[in-house]
Amino acid sequence: DSGVTQTPKHLITATGQRVTLRCSPRSGDLSVYWYQQSLDQGLQFLIHYYNGEERAKGNILERFSAQQFPDLHSELNLSSLELGDSALYFCASSAELAGGRYNEQFFGPGTRLTVL
Amino acid sequence: AQKITQTQPGMFVQEKEAVTLDCTYDTSDQSYGLFWYKQPSSGEMIFLIYQGSYDEQNATEGRYSLNFQKARKSANLVISASQLGDSAMYFCAMSPMEYGNKLVFGAGTILRVKS
């Protein structure tokens, strides 16, 4: 158990809908990362938050948005869902922002999203 | 931009033997980290080993070692004494050190351990 929790574990929805994925980082970790794992794109970085502020964006669609709340949990919002959004969405957390020796990222169990 | 290449889509290894999973990388960063993660069929991502670009010695963690050849830009994972539980997908990843620790992943290698 990495200490990172994600809910829900599975989500099945229809095209055009909107969903929210939730992530709670390990206790004390300030950084939260979101990744998408799909068969055609592989594992891709979406977005990084540090202590409530957005720090880096990757290949995140405009239909997707995220935020990190004062209690450090994070939510990834996916709207106007398309079939191609079906994927495993991971949240990861780490202790520090950057610099020095890398701080290991601990991954949550993921949310498997199926868009029908 | 960083890029990770894993050229072996799938590998077989006999139980108790050693296996090497290949990883090459491309980056213009001077400081970076290299990682290996394991993803069993259950889906979770498990951190295995880390190598910093300025680390002179190859990293080792139990049965895992990272064969780091900086000039060749390779970071191969060596698993010694393979076990049936090692059957999984293995991802090589890298991250810049200077700012933001986002991970860039390779396509992965599926390892199957035979009894």
Neighbouring CB atoms inside 10 A of A102's CB total: 23
- Whether residue A31 and residue B101 make contact (CB cut-off 8 A), yes or no, is yes
Which candidate from A45, A101, A106 shows the least CB-CB separation from B104?
A45
**What residues does A11 pair with on adjacent strands?**
A113
CB atoms B43 and A44 under 8 Å = no
Which of A11-25, A49-63, A75-89, B4-18 shows the lowest mean pLDDT across its residues?
A: A49-63
Residue A103 has pLDDT above 70, yes or no: no
State residue B56's pLDDT score: 86
Cβ(B97)–Cβ(B32) below 8 Å: yes
Per-residue DSSP letter, A43: E
pLDDT of residue A98: 53
Closest Cα of chain B to A81: distance in Å? 23
Residue A37 has pLDDT above 70, yes or no: yes
Decide if A102 and B47 are in contact by the 8 Å CB cutoff. Answer: no
b/e per residue A27-54 (b: at least 16 CB within 10 A): eebbbbbbbbbeeeeebbbbbbbbeeee
What is the average per-residue pLDDT within A45-59? 92
Is any Cβ of chain B less than 8 angstroms from the Cβ of A116? no
Reading chain B (115 residues) residue by residue, the pLDDT tens digits are 889 999 999 999 999 999 999 999 999 888 888 999 999 999 999 999 999 888 889 999 999 999 999 999 999 999 999 999 999 999 999 987 765 678 999 999 999 999 9
Do the strands B60-61 and B109-114 form a parallel or antiparallel pair, or are they unpaired?
unpaired
How many angstroms away from the CA of B99 is the closest CA of chain A? 5
pLDDT for residue A101: 52
Higher confidence at residue A2 or residue A115? Answer: A115
CB nearest to B102's CB, from A45, A106, A107? A45
